[in-house]
Amino acid sequence: MALSQLTISNRGREVQGSPIRKLAAIAEKRKREGIRVYHLNIGQPDLPSPEVVQQFFKTFSRRTIEYAPSNGLPETISAWRKYFENYDIYFDDEEIIVTTGGSEAIAFAISAICDPGDEVIVFEPFYTNYNGFASLAGVKLVPVELNISNSFSLPPKEVIEKYITIRTKAILFCDPSNPTGRIFTEDEIRNITDIARTYNLFLIADEVYREFAYDRKPISIARIPELSDRVIIVDSCSKRFNMCGARIGALASKNKDIIDAVLKFSMARLSVATIDQLSVIPLLENSALYTQPIVEEFHKRRDIVYEALSTIPEITYYKPEGAFYIIIGLPVKDSEHFAKWLIEEFHENKETVLLAPAQGFYATPGKGINEVRLAFMLNVVDLKRSIELIGRAIQQYKTLFAE
């Protein structure tokens, strides 16, 4: 006799799916209908993965592909250590754990410091998948609102402090930021770190876009010695080496309790892919050689996008200083409706654009409702054309759906 109905968890029911991928199925259908789709919706670099990696995969041969140690292959851990040293960030090998992308590092960091019901402060708009990881751990994300109208800068310390409760364990932030492209100033970093000290909070710094900095360099909180016990760095090979599919990231902390906990989580999932760990070693050891041309290209794209957007009336945007995203405020009521219409119905000369509605990057209901996030994932010619299409689409949409 069945005791009760088969039901899945509340957590499983309520967890937010990735808003970035929502419209992808419609885009595929549209392509089958002969429409060219410019993909500006997802942060998957379009450039080739480095030649040294291509060669590695071509020549790799081993009798048995074994599990790697749970904390990572010793040579991959050392490669991460050397990589960090190039940025004057100093970790011992024992303070670094290789993870399956930055994603797993975020999940481990949250689970290592929070119990169910605890709270983590984020600055919204924020990387939408933080929702999923918080949800897995039963943790509540508490969003501090930032606004496009003041370039997504942080509010004063007193405002951030209002969001702190007895359950607050950490501040989680991404610098340079996905989705805003903002790089925090020295003052902003000082405010965050002062708050962490005053309220005894951990700081999880997601630095996966470290090199993508066009106007000024981000300040890694790993370089502030007085903070060492409360800092967890999340990092990844995905973006900076065009290696998203290799799934190699890292979690680094000087706090031994955190590393011990994360090591135990790592043991439960046994190991990170051995072959992928081997493939990134030359990249990490000599990172600038590989990141420089990639960052130069994205710098060019940032400038093109920024310039091209100036031709579209009635939109709001902020010049991203880093990463490869821009949030655009549109003269429409509901950007999700606009983005769906754009991919489902609009075309000009059989071409259209796929964008990510920005609402999913906010946790506060109603915020970002007229915004989209654009990722600079195309060459400069295609980027220019995409923005031209967006401009035309806005005009058409406004006549079709005039209020």
Ligand X SMILES: Cc1ncc(COP(=O)(O)O)c(C=O)c1O
Among 19, 45, 69, 101, binds ligand X (CB under 6 A): 101
- CA–CA separation, 157 and 155 (whole Å): 7
**Which listed range, 99-107, 161-169, 261-269, 361-369, lies at the site for ligand X (CB under 6 A)?**
99-107
Among 178, 180, 291, 386, binds ligand X (CB under 6 A): 178
Shortest Cβ distance from residue 179 to ligand X (Å)?
A: 8
- Pick the closer one to ligand X by CB: 220 or 238: 238
| Nearest by Cα to 176 from 205, 147, 156 | 205
Shortest Cβ distance from residue 130 to ligand X (Å)?
A: 8
Tokens matching residue 388: 């031209």
Size of residue set near ligand X by CB under 6 A: 13
Rg of the chain over all Cα atoms, to the nearest angstrom = 22
What residue spans of 64-137 are helical by DSSP H? 74-85, 101-113, 129-136
Position with the least CB separation from ligand X: 101
Shortest Cβ distance from residue 125 to ligand X (Å)?
A: 11
- Pick the closer one to ligand X by CB: 184 or 397: 184
Q: Does 127 bind ligand X (CB under 6 A)?
A: yes
| Nearest by Cα to 203 from 174, 230, 224, 241 | 230
Longest dimension (CA), the chain: 68
- CA–CA separation, 385 and 391 (whole Å): 10
Three-state DSSP at 245 gives helix
Report the site for ligand X in 278-297 (rule: CB under 6 A): none
| Nearest by Cα to 377 from 395, 358, 356 | 356
- CA–CA separation, 204 and 206 (whole Å): 6
Q: Does 368 bind ligand X (CB under 6 A)?
A: no
Please answer whether residues 61 and 278 qualify as being in contact, where contact means their C-beta atoms are separated by less than 8 angstroms.
no
Phi, psi dihedrals of residue 54, rounded to the nearest 5°? -60, -45
**Which listed range, 51-59, 65-73, 98-106, 332-340, lies at the site for ligand X (CB under 6 A)?**
98-106
Task: Count other Cβ atoms within 10 Å, centred on residue 292.
Answer: 11
Task: Count other Cβ atoms within 10 Å, centred on residue 227.
Answer: 17
Among 45, 50, 102, 320, binds ligand X (CB under 6 A): 102
CA distances, 101 to each of 44, 89, 277 (Å): 13, 20, 11
Shortest Cβ distance from residue 276 to ligand X (Å)?
A: 11
- CA within 13 Å, CB half, 219: 13
**Which listed range, 97-105, 180-188, 190-198, 382-390, lies at the site for ligand X (CB under 6 A)?**
97-105
Q: Does 208 bind ligand X (CB under 6 A)?
A: yes
Shortest Cβ distance from residue 331 to ligand X (Å)?
A: 27
- Pick the closer one to ligand X by CB: 238 or 291: 238
- Pick the closer one to ligand X by CB: 98 or 259: 98
Q: Does 374 bind ligand X (CB under 6 A)?
A: no
- CA–CA separation, 125 and 335 (whole Å): 15
Q: Does 180 bind ligand X (CB under 6 A)?
A: no
- Sign of the Cα pseudo-torsion (313, 315, 316, 318, in order): negative
- Pick the closer one to ligand X by CB: 308 or 355: 355
Q: Does 76 bind ligand X (CB under 6 A)?
A: no
Q: Does 236 bind ligand X (CB under 6 A)?
A: yes
- Pick the closer one to ligand X by CB: 101 or 329: 101
Among 238, 242, 277, 359, binds ligand X (CB under 6 A): 238
**Which listed range, 148-156, 236-244, 349-357, 379-387, lies at the site for ligand X (CB under 6 A)?**
236-244
- CA–CA separation, 213 and 53 (whole Å): 24
Among 23, 114, 142, 174, binds ligand X (CB under 6 A): 174
- Pick the closer one to ligand X by CB: 196 or 323: 323
* DSSP states along 197-215: HHTT-EEEEE-TTTT-BSS
Write each residue from 28 to 57 as x if it is in contact with ligand X (CB under 6 A), else as -, in one continuous string. Answer: ---------------x--------------
Q: At what angle do helices 129-136 and 101-113 cross, to 10 degrees?
A: 40
Tokens matching residue 147: 């606004």
Write each residue from 306 to 335 as x if it is in contact with ligand X (CB under 6 A), else as -, in one continuous string. Answer: ------------------------------
Q: Which residues form the interface with ligand X (CB under 6 A)?
A: 43, 101-103, 127, 174, 178, 206, 208, 236, 238, 244, 249
